[in-house]
């Protein structure tokens, strides 16, 4: 590591415990030192728009609270006791043991202990989620793949393919603060064209029964540049399930319609029904967009024109494409925070340059928000142009103090907003993003009826 991270935009692999919490009655059991689980939840729960503890989060997360004794003599005995206690008092559909750094360093075998309980008939899996395994995007992948490897593939060794059933692997729960609304909207769109959806997480899911139905899908949909791709490849290897990789999250009219037609083509759906659904959605979207045109004509001299995006590749690319192609912004910087591998970085760069050639030389892969801020501040000071920053609560002071620019909170942490069912995905999400961007014109007295009249 070349420097200390001052403002981390992600957590460590142990943050995969939030993926477990996103599954209905999923129970994480953390094998780590005191405070590890609490800090994960603080950043990925409260720091994601105050989303609440849910069924088994926050102070309810089971943890061994390993101390010096466990580090010296091993912590497997204490872990077994913690799992036994959790099974007695927590009614869950799935229990996932996650090893933190101390357990990973000394070699406590959480997978073996999980197997012991699984042999007794309990739905328990084990994951080495030590912080040095990567960030919480990697932790998310580790958790999902462990559930498939250690439980689903044993319980459902052979697929019984159901025509029209699709598993969706897309945004990372909680790391995407809008995940609940996003998954709801993705499911609504796919069902609108005749697809049956295993969405897997949140209230839009039917619970762990959907996970048990994963092997029976006709195909898997990976809706992100790289998150979920390893899982789709794993399922292809185990069950011969084909997958469709759509790297751009659909936001707004153009991309959402394109996305739905791509799905329909891959699934060989009736084009008449698909086009009927798309036409109805586009008609509604355009009615709202025409009304928005009045604001553009009235306040044209106040509008922001430059775009800076600080987000992960999944959400950042989708929203940036919408803002550039449908709202006419000029890209000035894309800061990818999710630390993809080399091949995925090349894909991200290619996707962005396809959106706008002006991204050339303006794509940065960085997980430290302070480093990102320093770069954006210099560009804002040099340009003297009102800009839009798709960032986080950390960026509020930087944005408002320079050129009366506008901030839309897209990535963590989001600590000055409460998020329940909001989304920027799809036709509805595009309209919501328009509302949030241009409402920024009137924040903090930037524009008032008086100033507009005087102008």
Q: What is the pLDDT of residues 7-37, one digit of tens each?
A: 999 999 999 999 999 999 999 999 999 999 9
- Tell me, what CATH number does 311's domain have? 3.40.50.1980
Identify the domain boundary among 216, 232, 267: 267
Q: What is the pLDDT of residue 366?
A: 97
Helix (H, G, I), strand (E, B) or coil at 206: coil
One domain, residues 186 and 82: no
Environment class of 240 (CB within 10 Å of its CB; exposed 0-12, middle 13-18, buried 19+): exposed
pLDDT digits (tens, 9 = 90+) for 155-199: 999 999 999 999 999 999 999 999 999 999 999 999 999 999 999
- Counting the structural domains of the chain, the total is 3
The region of weakest confidence among 181-190, 294-303, 358-367 is 294-303
One domain, residues 320 and 219: no
One domain, residues 250 and 362: no
pLDDT digits (tens, 9 = 90+) for 84-106: 999 999 999 999 999 999 999 99
Q: How far is CA 391 from the centre of its chain?
A: 14
Residue 455 pLDDT exceeds 50: no
Q: What is the pLDDT of residue 9?
A: 97
Cα Rg, the chain, nearest whole Å: 23
One domain, residues 78 and 217: no
What domain range includes position 23? Answer: 13-155
One domain, residues 149 and 214: no
pLDDT digits (tens, 9 = 90+) for 102-125: 999 999 999 999 999 999 999 999
Residues in the chain, how many?
A: 455
d(C-alpha 148, C-alpha 220), whole Å: 14
Q: What is the pLDDT of residue 447?
A: 75
One domain, residues 127 and 196: no
DSSP 69-116: HHHHH-SHHHHHHHHHHHHHH---SEEEEEE-HHHHHHT--HHHHHHH
Mean pLDDT confidence for 434-447: 88
Q: What is the pLDDT of residue 238?
A: 98
Question: Which H/E stretch holds residue 402?
Answer: none
Residue 451 pLDDT exceeds 70: no
Identify the domain boundary among 155, 189, 223: 155
The region of weakest confidence among 193-197, 295-299, 443-447 is 443-447
Q: What is the pLDDT of residue 1?
A: 45
pLDDT digits (tens, 9 = 90+) for 383-409: 989 999 999 999 999 998 998 999 999
d(C-alpha 376, C-alpha 393), whole Å: 15
Identify the domain boundary among 155, 188, 206: 155
Residue 143 pLDDT exceeds 50: yes
One domain, residues 202 and 318: no
Mean pLDDT of the chain: 95
Residue 3 lies in a domain: no
Residue 52 lies in a domain: yes
Residue 206 lies in a domain: yes
One domain, residues 179 and 149: no
One domain, residues 203 and 95: no
One domain, residues 430 and 372: yes
Residue 448 pLDDT exceeds 70: no
Q: In this structure, are residues 183 and 202 in contact, taking their beta carbons and an 8 Å threshold?
A: yes
One domain, residues 231 and 318: no
Percentage of the chain lying above the pLDDT 90 cut: 92
One domain, residues 450 and 305: yes
Tokens of 46: 């409260």
């Amino acid at each position: 590591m070349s420097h200390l991270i001052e403002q981390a935009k992600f957590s460590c692999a142990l943050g995969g415990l939030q993926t477990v919490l996103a599954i209905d009655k999923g129970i994480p059991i953390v094998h780590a030192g005191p405070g590890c689980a609490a800090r994960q939840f603080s950043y990925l729960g409260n720091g994601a728009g105050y989303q609440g503890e849910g069924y088994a989060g926050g102070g309810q997360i089971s943890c061994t609270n390993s101390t010096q004794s466990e580090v010296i003599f091993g912590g497997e005995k204490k872990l077994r006791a913690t799992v036994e206690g959790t099974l007695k008092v927590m009614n869950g559909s799935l229990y996932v043991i996650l090893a933190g750094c101390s357990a990973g360093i000394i070699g406590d075998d959480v997978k073996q202990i999980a197997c012991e309980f699984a042999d007794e008939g309990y739905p328990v899996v084990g994951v080495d989620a030590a912080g040095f395994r990567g960030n919480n995007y990697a932790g998310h992948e580790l958790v999902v793949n462990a559930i498939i490897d250690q439980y689903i593939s044993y319980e459902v060794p052979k697929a019984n393919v159901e025509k029209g059933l699709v598993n969706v692997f897309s945004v990372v729960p909680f790391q995407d603060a809008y995940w609940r609304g996003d998954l709801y909207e993705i499911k609504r769109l796919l069902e609108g064209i005749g697809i049956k959806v295993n969405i897997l997480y949140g209230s839009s899911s039917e619970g762990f029964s959907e996970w048990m139905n994963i092997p029976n899908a006709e195909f898997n949909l990976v809706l992100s540049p790289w998150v979920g791709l390893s899982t789709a490849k794993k399922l292809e290897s185990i069950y011969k399930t084909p997958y469709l990789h759509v790297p751009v999250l659909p936001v707004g009219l153009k991309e959402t319609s394109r996305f739905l037609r791509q799905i329909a083509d891959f699934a060989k759906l009736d084009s008449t029904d698909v086009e009927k659904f798309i036409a109805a959605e586009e008609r509604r979207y355009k009615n709202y967009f025409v009304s928005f045109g009045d604001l553009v004509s009235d306040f044209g001299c106040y509008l922001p024109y430059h775009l800076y995006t600080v987000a992960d590749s999944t959400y950042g690319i989708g929203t940036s494409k919408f803002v550039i192609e449908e709202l006419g912004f000029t890209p000035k910087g894309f800061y990818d925070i999710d630390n993809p591998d080399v091949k995925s970085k090349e894909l991200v760069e290619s996707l962005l340059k396809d959106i706008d050639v002006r991204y050339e030389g303006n794509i940065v892969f960085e997980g430290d928000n302070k480093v990102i801020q320093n770069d954006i501040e210099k560009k804002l000071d040099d340009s003297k142009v009102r800009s839009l920053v798709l960032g986080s609560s950390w960026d509020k002071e930087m944005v408002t103090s320079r050129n009366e620019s506008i901030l839309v909170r897209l990535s963590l942490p989001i600590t000055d907003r409460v998020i329940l069912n909001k989304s920027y995905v799809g036709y509805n999400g595009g309209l919501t993003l328009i509302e949030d961007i241009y409402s920024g014109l009137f924040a903090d007295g930037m524009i008032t009826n008086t100033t507009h009249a005087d102008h």
